[in-house]
Amino acid sequence: MTTKLHLLLRSASFVQQNLCQPASRKCLHRATQMVRLCSTQAGKVHDTAPAVPVAAAESYAPALLRPLTETVAPSAAAVRQVWVENMDSADERKLGLLELHPEVFAAFPKLHLIHDNVRWQRMYRQVDYAATKTRAEVRGGGRKPHPQKGGGRARAGSIRSPLWKGGGVSHGPRGPKTHFYMLSHSARVGGLCATLSVKLAQNDLHVVRDLELPSADPGRLQELVERRYWGPSVLFVDDTDEMPENLVRAADQVPHYSLLPVYGLNVFTMLKHDTLVLTVAAVERVQERLLRALSIHNSMAVKHTDASLLR
Amino acid sequence: MASRAGQEKALRLLRHLPRVALNNIDHPNPKPASRRKRGAHGGDTHGAGDKGSKARQHFARAGFEGGQTPFYIRIPREDPYKGHHLRREYPPVSLHQLQLMVDTDRVDAGRQIDLTQICNSGLFRLEPLRRQFGFQLTDEGMDEFVTPVNLEVQWASERVIAAVERAGGTITTAFYDMASLQAMVDPERFFKRGVPIPRRALPPQDAVGYYTDPSTRGYLADPEQVARHRLTLAQKYGYELPKVKEGPLTERKDPRQIFFGLEPGWLVNLTDKQVWRVKDPVMSEYFRS
C-alpha cells in the first residue's frame, strides 16, 4: 500500500515537472479533444517525431461516443481523463489527453459482478470426470455369497454391496458432469465495466497511441515497462488481432506480457495481469460496444434495431 | 444503483486498497458448498428422511394427493376444439389489400367484386373443403379506402360497411353453400365437369339472422330497409352518404344465383362454347324457385 501511495506521489510529481502550464482543456461538454502539450514544454520532452499540427492530432481523437439511446450526456465531474502515452521510447511522453465515458470507466466497482464473471469463466468450461460404479456396475456380485443363516457371519446378498470391500459406491459421483452455465448479459457487461473502472481507479490502466515499438528486443520492452512502473504482468490490448511485428516478437519472449484484441477482452484476463495497456482505437471500440450493450435492453429508447450493429 | 457521489467515494477508496486481483475477490453472498451423501455426516438415511414411500423408492403415481381428489380430476374439462370441424371459417381480406388490388388492376372495380373475382386475382385462395365458406372484410386500411366498389363478401363488420359506403360504394353479405362455393372458387374447373349450375341453398339456421338483417347488408334483407340503414350508418359515423347511381354499383344476384348472366340449372359447354338451358318444365320450375 505504501508502495502504491509512493508510486502515486512519484507519478504526480513527474507530471508536475513536465508541465509548464496546465493543459488547456476545452469545454468538457463537447466531444473529447486531444491537446498537444509539446508546445507548452520547456525542453524536458524530446520530441523526435516532427511536430504534428493540432488538426491532425484531433483527427484521431475519438468522440465521446453516445450509446444507442438518446441519453443525457455525462456530467462534467464524472467524465474521466487519461493521458495518451507513447510506446516508441522507454522515456514516457504524454501525447495528449483522452476523455472516457464514466458509465464504462467510472462505474461502481461491483466486486460481486467481478467475482461472478471470474467464477463463470472458470466454471463454464469445467468438466468433472469423476465417476464411480454402483453395486450393479461392479463386476460380479450376482450370487448370494453364503446362506442366510448358520454361518455366524453377517447376512449378505452380494459381494459387491457398498458395505463390502471392493463393492460399489452408493452415492458417489456419477459420470462426467459439466458445470456449463451462461451468466446473464447484464452481469457480463456489468463485470467488464466494473473491472475497467477498478483498473482505472487503481492506476493500472494506461492508454497509448499505438503499439509500434522501435525494435523487437524484449529487453527494451521490459525496460519501458519497468521505467513506467507498470506491473510485472502487462496486458496489451489493440482493436485488431494483427499486432505490430516488433511487439509480437518482443512479447513472445516474455511470458508475463500478453497481447489481446479487443474482442477477447474479459474480466479474468484483466485481473490476471497487473497492468492494462490499451490503444486509443481499442478504447474507442470498447467504449462503443459497452455503451451499446448497456442500453440494448432499454426498449423504451431503442426505436429501430439495426441488425448489423448487433454483431 | 449507487448515486454518483457514492460511486466516486468507492473509486477513491480503491486507490488506497490493494490491487484487485484473482486472489482477493470474494462474494458477499456465496452459494453454500454442496454436501455429499456419503461419509460421517451424509450417511444413515442419505438424504431420504425417515421411512415412507420416498425412502423406499416406491413412489405414488404422478398427481396422487394422498387420497384427496387430485387437481386434474377435480377441475372440470373444457374442450376448446369441440365442434371445430363443424364451424364455418371466413378467411380475412382487408380493405387495404382490396384498395391495393383495385389500384393495381388485379380486380375489376367496374363489376361486382365477389368471391370469384377475389379468387381469380390469384392473391387469395379459398378452400371450401376446409370449411372456408367465403371471405370476411376486415377494417385494416379502412381510413384510406376511397374507391366506389360493388362488393359482395360473406361477413363484414359495421365499420367496414361504413368505410365502403362512405367511399361511394355498396356492400352486400351473401351466403354460399358448399356446392356453390366449389363452383365459385374455380369456375373453369367446375364447368369442365359438365354438371348443371346448382341452385344456391339458403343459409343454415344460425346464419339466417345475419343474412336477413339490413344492418349487416344481408342479401335476403329488404332493400328499402337496407337503404334506410345506409342513411342511419352515415349519420352515426358522420359522413356524407354519396348518391349511388343505377348501374354496376347496384347490380345484385338473385338469392339462388351463383354467376352473373347464368341461371341455376344451365349447363355451360366450354369445348363447344355453348350454354344449354333447361327445357323440362318440372326441372325448370325447380331451378327457378
User: CA quadruple B280, B281, B282, B287: dihedral positive or negative?
Assistant: positive
| pLDDT attached to residue A295 | 84
| pLDDT attached to residue B1 | 54
Dist CA A202 CA A3 (whole Å): 13
Q: What is the pLDDT of residues B40-83, one digit of tens each?
A: 888 888 888 999 888 998 889 999 999 999 999 999 999 999 99
Instruction: Read off the amino acid at residue B238.
Output: G
Average pLDDT over chain A, rounded to an integer: 81
* pLDDT at residue A12 tops 70: no
| pLDDT attached to residue A32 | 38
* pLDDT at residue A63 tops 50: no
Q: Is the minimum CB–CB distance between B15 and chain A shorter than 8 Å?
A: yes
Interface contact B20-A5, CB threshold 8 A: no
* pLDDT at residue A6 tops 90: no
Give the rounded percent of residues in chain A with a pLDDT score beyond 90: 68
In a domain, B221, yes or no: yes
| CATH number of the domain residue B137 falls in | 3.100.10.10
pLDDT band at A72 (very low <50, low <70, confident <90, very high): low
Give Cα separations from B124 to A153, B105, B117, B127, B171 (angstroms): 86, 15, 10, 10, 19
Dist CA A139 CA B223 (whole Å): 93
Residues of chain A neighbouring B36 (CB-CB closer than 8 A) = 171
Which of A7-16, A227-236, A291-300 is the most confident on average?
A227-236
Give Cα separations from B31 to A116, A182, B37, B113, B255 (angstroms): 11, 17, 18, 70, 77
Give Cα separations from A98 to A67, A107, A235 (angstroms): 18, 17, 20
Q: Is the minimum CB–CB distance between B2 and chain A shorter than 8 Å?
A: yes
| pLDDT attached to residue A61 | 40
Q: Is the minimum CB–CB distance between A107 and chain B shorter than 8 Å?
A: yes
Give the rounded percent of residues in chain A with a pLDDT score beyond 70: 72
Give the rounded percent of residues in chain B with a pLDDT score beyond 90: 86
Strand partners, B113: B151
pLDDT band at A25 (very low <50, low <70, confident <90, very high): very low
Q: Is the minimum CB–CB distance between B14 and chain A shorter than 8 Å?
A: yes
* Average pLDDT rounded to a whole number, residues A228-232: 94
Determine whether domain A80-126+180-309 maps to CATH 3.40.50.720: no
Mutate to test the interface with A, among B14, B36, B37, B57 (most CBs of A within 10 A): B14
- The CA distance from B50 to the nearest CA of chain A, in Å, is 17
Residues of chain B neighbouring A169 (CB-CB closer than 8 A) = 38
**Rg for chain A (alpha carbons), in Å?**
29
| pLDDT attached to residue B18 | 96
* pLDDT at residue A53 tops 80: no
C-alpha torsion angle, residues A207, A209, A212, A218 (rounded to 10): -20
Nearest CB to B7: which of A5, A108, A169? A108
Interface contact A202-B20, CB threshold 8 A: yes
Burial of A288: CB neighbours in 10 Å, binned 0-12, 13-18, 19+: buried
Chain A residue closest to B6 (CA)?
A108
Give Cα separations from A61 to A33, A80, A291 (angstroms): 6, 15, 18
Q: What is the pLDDT of residues B256-280, one digit of tens each?
A: 999 999 999 999 999 999 999 999 9
| pLDDT attached to residue A203 | 96
Residues of chain A neighbouring B4 (CB-CB closer than 8 A) = 75, 77-78
In a domain, B234, yes or no: yes
Dist CA B19 CA A310 (whole Å): 34
Give the residue from A269, A213, A270, A210 showing the smallest Cα distance to A238.
A210
Cα A32 off chain centre by: 24
Report H helices in chain A. Answer: 2-18, 54-59, 102-105, 111-123, 185-201, 218-227, 245-253, 267-272, 280-295
- Domain boundaries of chain A, sorted by first residue: 2-65, 80-126+180-309, 130-178
Q: Do the Cβ atoms of B253 and B150 come closer than 8 Å?
A: no
Interface contact B26-A115, CB threshold 8 A: yes
Q: Is the minimum CB–CB distance between B38 and chain A shorter than 8 Å?
A: yes
Interface contact A111-B26, CB threshold 8 A: yes
DSSP structure class, residue B84: G
| pLDDT attached to residue A71 | 56
* Average pLDDT rounded to a whole number, residues A209-215: 95
Beta strand spans in B193-273 (E): 267-269
Residues within 8 A of B (CB atoms), A 22-61 only:
none
In a domain, B251, yes or no: yes
Nearest CB to B11: which of A106, A116, A271? A106
- What the block records as the C-alpha cell of B70 is 387430485
Give Cα separations from B54 to A279, B51, B62 (angstroms): 62, 8, 13
Q: CA triplet A221, A227, A232: central angle to 5 degrees?
A: 70
* Average pLDDT rounded to a whole number, residues A42-61: 40
In a domain, B26, yes or no: no
pLDDT band at A44 (very low <50, low <70, confident <90, very high): very low
* pLDDT at residue B168 tops 60: yes
Instruction: Read off the amino acid at residue A149.
Output: K
**Domain count along chain B:** 1
DSSP structure class, residue B38: S
Interface contact B15-A109, CB threshold 8 A: no
Nearest CB to B25: which of A8, A107, A114? A114
* Average pLDDT rounded to a whole number, residues A129-149: 96
Residues of chain B neighbouring A202 (CB-CB closer than 8 A) = 14-15, 17, 19-20
* pLDDT at residue A45 tops 70: no
Question: What residues make up the domain containing B188?
Answer: 86-261
Give the residue from B106, B90, B107, B93 showing the smallest Cα distance to B140.
B93
pTM: predicted TM-score of the whole model, two decimal places: 0.57
Interface contact A202-B19, CB threshold 8 A: yes
Chain B residue closest to A200 (CA)?
B11
In a domain, B284, yes or no: no
Chain A residue closest to B25 (CA)?
A115
* Average pLDDT rounded to a whole number, residues B153-180: 97
Average pLDDT over chain B, rounded to an integer: 94
* pLDDT at residue A311 tops 60: no
Dist CA A296 CA B119 (whole Å): 45
Interface contact B38-A171, CB threshold 8 A: yes
Chain A residue closest to B21 (CA)?
A271
Q: Is A67 helix (H, G, I), strand (E, B) or coil?
A: coil
pLDDT band at B38 (very low <50, low <70, confident <90, very high): confident
Interface contact A112-B27, CB threshold 8 A: yes
* pLDDT at residue B27 tops 90: no
Burial of B78: CB neighbours in 10 Å, binned 0-12, 13-18, 19+: exposed
Q: Is the minimum CB–CB distance between A204 and chain B shorter than 8 Å?
A: yes
| pLDDT attached to residue A299 | 55
Q: Do the Cβ atoms of A268 and B22 come closer than 8 Å?
A: yes
Q: Do the Cβ atoms of B268 and B275 come closer than 8 Å?
A: yes
Nearest CB to A171: which of B2, B12, B37? B37
| pLDDT attached to residue A16 | 45
Task: Check residues B268 and A72 and name the one with the higher pLDDT.
Answer: B268
Interface contact A198-B20, CB threshold 8 A: yes
Residue with cell 510529481: A13
Size of interface A-B (CB pairs under 8 A): 74
Interface contact B20-A115, CB threshold 8 A: no
Q: What is the pLDDT of residues A286-308, one digit of tens each?
A: 999 999 999 887 654 444 444 44
Chain A residue closest to B45 (CA)?
A171
